[in-house]
């Protein structure tokens, strides 16, 4: 009675539910590199390299602990190119009568698993992914009967339940959220520590060659490739973050500087999402740094909130809302994604830098994703589906369960305000305040109309004016509308004309 235990590319943890209770002398682990997963969106080559190389290294870890691993490489003869096809072939190869798998991170793959039993002839058990702190049932119970599903309330429950940063039922320091302290601009003199990159080993170099041959035309540079592909290296990067960047993580969480892609961020999301690191150990490492006086509370609370709060919350929303969540389009936006999102070819310095580093590293930090590329897409009225597809393709950490709520809900307000109490839109003023981009930009963030005007400015007013019917009932938008209404009619007309002329030229 052979059991086939399937491990997907973002399930690289020895504590995975599908591996629990396995009998290495009888069961077989299947891991398969398949073209379908590499191309359902045109993933950044570094994302594919990261996943394939981390899969190959993880297969070795399993083998060393006694598992029999059937690993199908992308170029293996007979590779059918799909998970379904590979499960079917492996069931036949090993005469398996049952398949055990941990639930995937996407509705698309979850639906495909429903068909595995039919095509393979074996029974299929899909187990809960308990690498998360909050189970589906717990999230559902939290959401039940609430009118508003704001992250902050969820986060407080998670703090109470886990006891992280709690003291006798109260938040340490007396406040749940220290974000007010976390919006500092990066001073020019502030030195930003280096993020170590990991030198590719022989396995990674083989994968780089394979990916360059097969997916070289995808957006993004293949090299230099510096991502960790083993848990040991990911752990050393976690330690480096805690020691060198966490102390200033809070202060400069929202800050941006040209050619400084990582600032004080952890740059650990690819490892966390693929299973090389777990959420608890990351949180506990940060809390321990605070306990020994090595990092201040605003940094540690801010970091813990990203993982215990935002990450768990967006996952809960994704599964609670189901596939229909991706269909929302609050403002009926239909404009196609501008070509510069793929080429990086724009004079707007903020967008050029954020897209340029995305191409180079498959990484941009949260404020770049939200307030530069996301903000522009929302202001310009880009079709949310095209925006979501872009984000899913270009970031090494992107899987739909985490990408979609961030795009639909947070960046595009396409879920009608389920996640965000108001659209995250801003003029060039915000980008100028939080970055030094504008200094090297041909546009002027203080100008709204004319040749030198920052495009974000007129677009901001155009967004408000064209979406007034949808947003007029939102109290949090009322100040913005009062400012618009205070403008003279002539000024409003020239501002809208400026935005329309810009949009008309957008390709
Ligand atoms: P840090 O700033 O160091 O934060 C620490 C950790 O907190 C991250 O590693 C991540 O695991 C978690 N985290 C922080 N913010 C969020 C959030 N909003 N949602 C979920 N987890 C969070 N994150 C992804 O992991 N995958 C995505 O595909 C993704 N797409 C995004 C798209 C948009 C439009 C936006 C606005 C955000 C998106 N995020 C996504 C969230 C966030 O931008 C990234 O998690 C973060 O930039 C990863 O870099 P880091 O590890 O340096 O994060
Ligand atoms: C993202 C990805 C890629 C590029 N390739 C594979 C693969 O070849 N084999 C595999 O098992 N998983 C891969 N993945 C991760 C899956 O796409 C991921 O498991 C689903 O999107 C669900 O989160
Ligand atoms: Fe971006 Fe406008 Fe500043 Fe240029 S002036 S960097 S377009 S915000």
List of residues 6+ apart from 320 with CB closer than 8 A: 136, 139, 140, 143
Q: What share of the chain is helix, strand, coil (3-state, %, to 5)?
A: 55, 5, 40
The angle, 0 to 180 degrees and rounded to 10, between the axes of the packed helices 151-162 and 136-143 is 130
The angle, 0 to 180 degrees and rounded to 10, between the axes of the packed helices 312-321 and 136-143 is 80
Ligand lying closest to the C-alpha of residue 270: 1
The percent of residues in the chain predicted with pLDDT above 70, rounded, is: 100
Please report the pLDDT score of residue 25 as a whole number.
Answer: 87
Please report the pLDDT score of residue 183 as a whole number.
Answer: 86
Instruction: Please say whether the dihedral angle defined by the alpha carbons of residues 167, 170, 171 and 174, taken in this order, is positive or negative.
Output: negative
Q: Which atom of ligand 3 is nearest to the CA of 431?
A: 8
List of residues 6+ apart from 117 with CB closer than 8 A: 99, 123, 124
Please name the residue that has the structure tokens 């966490």: 246
Please report the pLDDT score of residue 266 as a whole number.
Answer: 98
**Residue 64 CB neighbour total at 10 angstroms:** 8
| Ligand 1 centroid – CA 387 distance (Å) | 16
What is the CB < 6 Å shell around ligand 1? 265-269, 272-273, 303, 306-307, 310-311, 314, 365-366, 369-370, 374, 391, 395, 397-398, 402-403, 406-407, 410-411
Q: How far apart are CA 84 and CA 485, in angstroms?
A: 57
Q: Which two tokens stand for residue 501?
A: 């002329």
Question: Does the pLDDT at position 255 exceed 90?
Answer: yes
Q: Closest Cα to atom 2, ligand 2: which residue?
A: 37
Query: Mean pLDDT throughout 72-85?
Result: 98
Closest CA to 198 of 226, 236, 240, 231: 226
Ligand lying closest to the C-alpha of residue 10: 2
| Ligand 3 centroid – CA 379 distance (Å) | 14
The 10s digit of each residue's pLDDT in 207-230 is 999 999 999 999 999 999 999 999
Please report the pLDDT score of residue 341 as a whole number.
Answer: 98
The angle, 0 to 180 degrees and rounded to 10, between the axes of the packed helices 107-120 and 83-94 is 30
Please report the pLDDT score of residue 181 as a whole number.
Answer: 86
Convert 118-157 to b/e letters by CB count within 10 Å (16 or more is b): eebebebebeebebbbbeeebbeebeeeeeebebeebbee
Q: Which two tokens stand for residue 395?
A: 């970031």
Q: Closest Cα to atom 22, ligand 2: which residue?
A: 105
Query: Mean pLDDT throughout 115-143?
Result: 96
Question: Does the pLDDT at position 244 exceed 90?
Answer: yes
Query: Mean pLDDT throughout 323-342?
Result: 98
Q: How far apart are CA 54 and CA 60, in angstroms?
A: 10
CB 212 within 8 A of CB 66: no
| Nearest-5° Cα angle at 36, 320 to 362 | 75
Please report the pLDDT score of residue 180 as a whole number.
Answer: 87
Strand order in the sheet with 2-6: 68-72, 28-32, 2-6, 96-102, 123-127
What's the mean pLDDT when you consider all of the chain? 97
Please report the pLDDT score of residue 317 as a whole number.
Answer: 98
Q: How far apart are CA 156 and CA 339, in angstroms?
A: 41
Ligand 2 near 51 CB (within 6 A): yes
Q: Which atom of ligand 2 is nearest to the CA of 48?
A: 4
Ligand 2 near 38 CB (within 6 A): yes
What is the CB < 6 Å shell around ligand 3? 348-350, 428, 431-432, 437-438, 441, 443, 445, 454-456
| Ligand 1 centroid – CA 306 distance (Å) | 8
Q: Which two tokens stand for residue 91?
A: 């069931």
CB 260 within 8 A of CB 192: yes
Question: Does the pLDDT at position 307 exceed 90?
Answer: yes
pLDDT category at 12 given cuts 50, 70, 90 is very high
Q: Which two tokens stand for residue 291?
A: 């306990």
Q: Which atom of ligand 2 is nearest to the CA of 105?
A: 23
| Ligand 2 centroid – CA 54 distance (Å) | 12
For residue 170, the cross-strand partners are 167
pLDDT category at 1 given cuts 50, 70, 90 is confident
The 10s digit of each residue's pLDDT in 372-409 is 999 999 999 999 999 999 999 999 999 999 999 999 99
Please report the pLDDT score of residue 332 as a whole number.
Answer: 98
Ligand lying closest to the C-alpha of residue 44: 2
Question: Does the pLDDT at position 296 exceed 90?
Answer: yes
| Ligand 3 centroid – CA 357 distance (Å) | 17
Please report the pLDDT score of residue 338 as a whole number.
Answer: 98
Question: Does the pLDDT at position 353 exceed 90?
Answer: yes
The 10s digit of each residue's pLDDT in 148-190 is 899 999 999 999 999 999 999 999 999 999 988 888 999 999 9
Question: Does the pLDDT at position 464 exceed 90?
Answer: yes
Ligand 2 near 37 CB (within 6 A): yes
Question: Does the pLDDT at position 433 exceed 90?
Answer: yes
Query: Mean pLDDT throughout 30-55?
Result: 98
Ligand 2 near 7 CB (within 6 A): no
């Amino acid at each position: 009675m052979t059991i086939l235990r399937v491990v997907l590319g973002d399930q690289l943890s020895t504590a995975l539910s599908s591996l629990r209770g396995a009998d290495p002398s009888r069961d077989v682990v299947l891991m398969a590199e398949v073209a379908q997963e590499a191309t359902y969106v045109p993933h950044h080559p570094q994302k594919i390299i990261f996943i394939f190389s981390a899969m190959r290294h993880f297969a070795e870890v399993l083998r060393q602990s006694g598992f029999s691993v059937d690993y199908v490489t992308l170029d293996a003869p007979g590779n059918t190119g799909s998970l379904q096809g590979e499960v079917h072939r492996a069931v036949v190869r090993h005469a398996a009568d049952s398949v055990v798998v941990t639930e995937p991170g996407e509705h698309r793959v979850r639906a495909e698993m429903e068909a595995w039993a039919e095509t393979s002839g074996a029974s299929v058990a899909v187990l809960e992914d308990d690498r998360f702190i909050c189970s589906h049932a717990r999230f559902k119970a939290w959401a039940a009967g609430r009118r508003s599903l704001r992250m902050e309330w969820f986060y407080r429950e998670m703090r109470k339940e886990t006891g992280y940063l709690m003291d006798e039922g109260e938040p340490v320091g007396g406040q749940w959220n220290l974000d007010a302290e976390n919006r500092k601009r990066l001073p020019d003199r502030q030195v930003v520590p280096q993020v170590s990159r990991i030198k590719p080993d022989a396995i990674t170099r083989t994968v780089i060659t394979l990916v360059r041959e097969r997916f070289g035309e995808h957006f993004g540079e293949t090299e230099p490739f510096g991502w960790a592909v083993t848990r040991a290296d990911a752990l050393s990067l976690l330690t480096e973050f805690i020691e060198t960047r966490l102390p200033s993580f809070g202060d400069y969480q929202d800050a941006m500087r040209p050619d400084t892609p990582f600032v004080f961020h952890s740059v650990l999301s690819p490892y966390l999402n693929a299973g090389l690191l777990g959420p608890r150990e990351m949180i506990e490492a940060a809390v321990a740094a605070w306990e020994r006086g090595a990092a201040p509370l605003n940094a540690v609370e801010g970091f813990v909130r990203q993982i215990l709060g935002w990450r768990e919350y967006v996952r809960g929303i994704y599964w609670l809302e189901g596939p229909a969540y991706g269909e929302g389009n609050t403002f009926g936006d239909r404009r196609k994604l501008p070509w510069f999102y793929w080429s990086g070819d724009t004079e707007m310095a903020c967008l050029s830098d954020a897209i340029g580093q995305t191409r180079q590293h498959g990484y941009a930090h949260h404020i770049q994703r939200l307030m530069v590329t996301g903000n522009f897409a929302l202001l310009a009225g880009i079709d949310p589906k095209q925006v979501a597809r872009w984000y899913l393709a270009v970031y090494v950490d992107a899987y739909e369960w985490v990408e979609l709520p961030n795009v639909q809900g947070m960046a595009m307000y396409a879920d009608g305000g389920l996640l965000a109490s108001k659209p995250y839109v801003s003029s060039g003023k915000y980008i100028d305040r939080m970055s030094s981009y504008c200094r090297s930009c041909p546009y002027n963030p203080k100008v709204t109309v004319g040749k030198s005007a920052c495009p974000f400015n007129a677009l901001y007013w155009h967004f408000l004016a064209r979406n007034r019917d949808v947003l007029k009932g939102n109290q949090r938008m009322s100040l913005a509308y009062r400012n618009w209404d205070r403008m003279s009619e002539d000024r409003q007309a020239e501002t809208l004309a400026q935005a329309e002329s810009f949009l008309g030229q957008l390709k």
